[in-house]
């Protein structure tokens, strides 16, 4: 090694050590001036000898890498989040639930950072990839931006392969600074640090993210056992040792509900003085053996929960009640009020659900109303301040005709519907639903663009989305578009054709078929033709599918227009098969039968888990059945299994099968 190379190595070591002391230990070891001197010396050497620039050099943090578009990244294991809870009672129930399985559980308590979660992958200790959570299975590659975050180590203290998850966030100070600069430039302000952080990691040019001064707080290791870690607390310590910033000064441990509540009270007090925004407390079972015993439901881990701080209420004035038409034709009254800041963002509208809700509340245009965010996300009207009325308020009156097409509205139960299938509002809402994230996830085809393309005649119905290519030349000419963005849009349209069945099933907008039901149906029927053939009785036999849903599904597929739509989409190349995301196939080729009442799992849930591992779950016991899982009060299937000598699993033995 020549002397220049060794000086570069030495400088990187000094700078990395200083950063570690500063960011991770909160304890600067050198002055800012010294730091700058070392840093500038390194920049000089690297620009003179570019061939000696190391891939983990701290000078990379100024950014400069520009990507053409965000590539998709499939997470090694799904990036889940916890269920939210909002009060003490729910904490007590959570603790009771945990103690049924793990009587001696204790918890780590961590501030719930208000940013966006990110996954960082290191190979031999070097950061190789960073991704957003996305839909939990597939996220976006944001490596170029994450490399600019000073609290993200580019090189770990150990040369290991590891994935680390944590929160990408913007400190209160950087947020203020960022908005001051945006104001100067006449750019729209970010409503809160979370939006600012999310907007910054979604920049193609990493020098923008670099200037925004983001931060990263590490809080989760997906594979702690690989490093012989036994508790979440040890995971956090290990993360700190590796060079990550953790919340080690604020994190706590609790043995019972009393200690949890006292931690929450304490943190609520400190909240306003913290350098970053938090919106609650995350509780995780500390012992990882306990964590494994508790496992997951279909959606979320059972071993943790997110307690959210109470929403803050603010007062404003109701300016207008605006009626909108949904994709099913349902009419919804919405409160439009003077914009107010609520729990970190600016809001100006909230749903008023239906006529009865408005009459119950006796809400009037001109009223002073209080607003809060339910679960901190969706704004809602809490109360009408009747004592503040002046007499000039206008009472609520339900409309009689569709605000978009003028058709007479029809009342069904509590709601009014526009029954005109060609009503533009219904079509546009249907298209928006089809392209949105939880359905076909077509990037670049948001609400505004759909509305514009609809009005310009490019997209009048769902198949038109897949024929958009033929308008390419016209689209490129549109203001705000260009070759690149149209190509990206066409790419995401093309990609959406490959989605698994549940996505398109939800996207079609069959009444009562939401995300969860679509998934259940897709897993059960495997392809749309099987589902189309299913009769109502068979559908109701599936857990979680009631008679209302079954009837609606049958009705949908009995309509020839809908079948024609599906056939047209098939011809355009859309996939209508179920694609399993599970890569674990250790139960391939096995067949299980469930009988009796299960306590710890819902039937559908356990069926899903087994199927995801490759097993088949059937309803009758034969000599080829691998095992019968027996709950309380089992039926004749249990007797038959005994007779045929098929292996019996009690509920407590299942873990051995699926862990």
Q: Minimal distance in Å, beta carbon 238 to ligand IVH? A: 15
Q: Do the beta carbons of residue 170 and residue 198 sit within 8 Å?
A: no
Q: Is 301 in the site for ligand IVH (CB under 6 A)?
A: yes
Q: Residue 299 or residue 460: which is nearer to ligand IVH going by CB? A: 299
Residue (75 or 372) nearer to ligand IVH, CB: 75
List, as one string, the DSSP characters of 112-154. Answer: EESSEEEEEEEETTEEEEEEE-TTSSEEEB-HHHHTT-TTS-S
Residue 421 CA to its chain's centroid (Å): 32
Angle of the 515-525 helix axis to the 603-612 helix axis, nearest 10 = 60
Figure out which of the listed residues 282, 347, 504, 534 binds ligand IVH, where binding follows CB under 6 A. Answer: 282
CB of 179 to ligand IVH, least distance (A): 23
548 to each of 171, 412, 520, 536, how far by Cα in Å?
Answer: 48, 15, 16, 10
Q: Identify the residue among 220, 416, 453, 466 touching ligand IVH (CB under 6 A).
A: 220
Is 281 one of the binding residues for ligand IVH (CB under 6 A)? Answer: no
Q: Is 80 or 382 the residue whose CB approaches ligand IVH more closely?
A: 80
Strand partners, 365: 394
**CB–CB of 580/615 below 8 Å?**
no
Q: Which of 94, 190, 219, 524 binds ligand IVH (CB under 6 A)?
A: 219
For position 232 contacting ligand IVH by CB under 6 A, the verdict is no
Residues near 153 by Cβ (< 8 Å), separated by ≥ 6?
16, 20, 127, 242, 243, 244
Asked whether position 136 contacts ligand IVH by CB under 6 A, the answer is no
Strand runs labelled E in 18-124: 72-74, 84-85, 107-113, 116-123
Residue 242 CB, shortest distance to ligand IVH, in Å, is 17
Nearer to ligand IVH, 111 or 153 (CB): 111
Cα separation of 3 and 69, whole Å?
40
Measured in degrees and rounded to the nearest 5, phi and psi for residue 276 equal: -135, 165
CB-based burial label for 109 (10 Å; 0-12, 13-18, 19+): buried
Facing residues of 395 across strands?
364
Q: How far is the CB of 371 from ligand IVH (least distance, A)?
A: 24
Question: CA 147, 150, 154, 157: dihedral to nearest 10 degrees?
Answer: -160
Residues in binding contact with ligand IVH, number by CB under 6 A: 13
Q: Which C-beta is closer to ligand IVH: that of 134 or that of 379?
A: 134
Of the residues 164, 306, 508, 587, which one makes contact with ligand IVH according to CB under 6 A: 306
Helix or strand holding residue 241 (H, E)? helix 232-242
Complex with ligand IVH: residue 167 or 233, whichever CB lies closer: 167
Count the neighbouring beta carbons within 10 Å of the beta carbon of residue 594.
Answer: 22
Q: How far apart are CA 372 and CA 335, in angstroms?
A: 13
Q: Which listed range, 76-84, 201-209, 618-626, 651-659, lies at the site for ligand IVH (CB under 6 A)?
A: 76-84
**Least distance from ligand IVH to the Cβ atom of residue 82, Å:** 4
Q: Which CB, 45 or 113, lies closer to ligand IVH?
A: 113
Task: Choose between 167 and 367: whose C-beta lies nearer to ligand IVH.
Answer: 167
* 216 scored as a contact of ligand IVH (CB under 6 A): no
Question: Site residues for ligand IVH, window 146-175 (CB under 6 A)?
Answer: 167
Catalytic residue among 48, 112, 319, 523: 112
> Strand (E) positions, 208-310?
214-220, 252-254, 278-285, 304-308
Task: Judge whether 650 counts as a catalytic residue.
Answer: no
The answer to whether residue 250 forms part of the interface with ligand IVH (CB under 6 A) is no
Q: How far is the CB of 481 from ligand IVH (least distance, A)?
A: 33
Site string for ligand IVH, 77-116 (x = CB under 6 A): ---xxx---------------------------x-xx---
Tell me how far apart the terminal alpha carbons of the chain are, to the nearest angstrom: 50
CB of 166 to ligand IVH, least distance (A): 8
d(CA 172, CA 342): 16
* Separation in Å, CA 611 to CA 218, 268, 289, 441, 591: 33, 43, 24, 25, 9
Of the pair 115, 631, the CB lying nearest ligand IVH is at 115
User: Minimum distance between the CB of residue 264 and ligand IVH, rounded to whole angstroms?
Assistant: 14
Compute the least distance from the CB of residue 234 to ligand IVH, in Å.
Answer: 15
Q: Does 302 bind ligand IVH (CB under 6 A)?
A: no
Instruction: Write out the two tokens for 293.
Output: 């015993």
Q: Which amino acids are annotated catalytic?
A: 112
Enumerate binding residues for ligand IVH (CB under 6 A).
Answer: 80-82, 110, 112-113, 117, 167, 219-220, 282, 301, 306
């Amino acid at each position: 090694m020549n002397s220049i190379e060794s000086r570069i190595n030495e400088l990187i070591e000094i700078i990395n050590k200083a950063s570690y002391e500063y960011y991770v230990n909160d304890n600067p070891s050198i002055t800012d001036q010294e730091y700058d001197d070392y840093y500038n010396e390194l920049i000089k050497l690297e620009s003179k000898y570019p061939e000696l620039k190391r891939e983990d050099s701290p000078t990379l943090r100024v950014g400069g890498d520009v990507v053409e578009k965000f590539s998709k990244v499939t997470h090694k294991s799904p990036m889940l989040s916890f269920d939210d809870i909002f009060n003490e009672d729910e904490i007590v129930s959570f603790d009771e639930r945990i103690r049924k399985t793990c009587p001696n559980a204790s918890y780590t308590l961590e501030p719930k950072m208000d940013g966006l979660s990110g996954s960082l992958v290191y190979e031999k200790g070097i950061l190789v990839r960073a991704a957003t959570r996305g839909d939990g299975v597939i996220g976006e590659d944001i490596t170029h931006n994450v490399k600019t975050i000073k609290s993200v180590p580019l090189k770990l203290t150990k040369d290991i392969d590891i994935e680390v998850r944590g929160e990408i966030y913007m400190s209160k100070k950087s947020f203020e600074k960022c908005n001051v600069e945006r104001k100067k430039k006449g750019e729209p302000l970010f409503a809160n640090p979370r939006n600012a952080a999310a907007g910054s990691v979604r920049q193609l040019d990493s020098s923008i993210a670099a200037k925004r001064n983001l931060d990263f707080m590490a809080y989760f290791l997906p594979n702690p056992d690989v490093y012989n870690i036994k508790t979440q607390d040890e995971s956090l310590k290990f993360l700190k040792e590796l060079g990550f910033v953790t919340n080690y000064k604020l994190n706590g441990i609790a043995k019972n509900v009393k200690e949890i509540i006292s931690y929450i009270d304490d943190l609520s007090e400190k909240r306003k003085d913290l350098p970053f925004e938090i919106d609650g407390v995350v509780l995780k079972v500390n012992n990882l053996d306990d964590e494994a015993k508790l496992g997951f439901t279909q959606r979320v881990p059972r071993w943790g929960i997110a307690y959210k701080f109470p929403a803050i209420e603010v007062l404003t004035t109701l300016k207008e009640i605006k009626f909108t038409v949904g994709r099913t034709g349902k009419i919804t009254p919405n409160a439009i009020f003077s914009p107010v800041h609520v729990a970190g963002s600016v809001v100006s509208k909230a749903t008023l659900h239906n006529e009865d809700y408005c009459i119950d509340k006796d809400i009037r245009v001109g009223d002073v109303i209080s607003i809060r965010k339910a679960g901190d996300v969706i704004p809602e009207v809490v109360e009408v301040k009747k004592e503040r009325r002046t007499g000039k308020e206008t009472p609520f009156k339900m409309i009689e005709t569709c605000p978009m097409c003028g058709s007479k509205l029809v009342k069904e139960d509590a709601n009014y519907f526009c029954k005109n299938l060609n009503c533009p509002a219904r079509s546009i809402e249907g298209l928006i639903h089809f392209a949105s994230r939880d359905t076909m996830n077509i990037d670049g085809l948001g609400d505004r663009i759909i509305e514009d393309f609809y009005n310009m005649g490019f997209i009048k119905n769902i198949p038109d989305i897949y024929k958009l290519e033929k308008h390419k030349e016209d689209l490129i000419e549109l203001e705000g578009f260009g070759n690149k963005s149209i190509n990206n849009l066409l790419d995401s349209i093309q990609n959406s054709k490959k989605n698994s069945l549940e996505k398109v099933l939800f996207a079609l907008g069959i009444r009562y078929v939401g995300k969860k039901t679509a998934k259940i149906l897709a897993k059960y029927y495997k392809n749309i033709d099987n589902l189309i053939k299913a009769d109502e009785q068979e559908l109701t036999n599936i857990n979680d599918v009631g008679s209302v849903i079954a009837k609606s599904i049958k009705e949908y597929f009995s309509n020839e227009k809908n079948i024609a739509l599906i056939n047209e989409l098939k011809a355009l190349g859309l996939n209508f098969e179920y694609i399993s995301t599970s890569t674990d196939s250790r139960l391939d080729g096995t067949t299980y039968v469930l009988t009796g009442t299960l306590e710890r799992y819902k039937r559908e849930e356990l069926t899903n888990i087994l199927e995801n591992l490759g097993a088949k779950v059937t309803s009758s016991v034969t000599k080829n059945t691998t095992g019968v899982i027996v709950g309380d009060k089992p039926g004749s299937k249990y007797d038959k299994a005994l007779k045929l000598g098929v292996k019996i699993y009690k509920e407590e033995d299942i873990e051995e099968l699926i862990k």
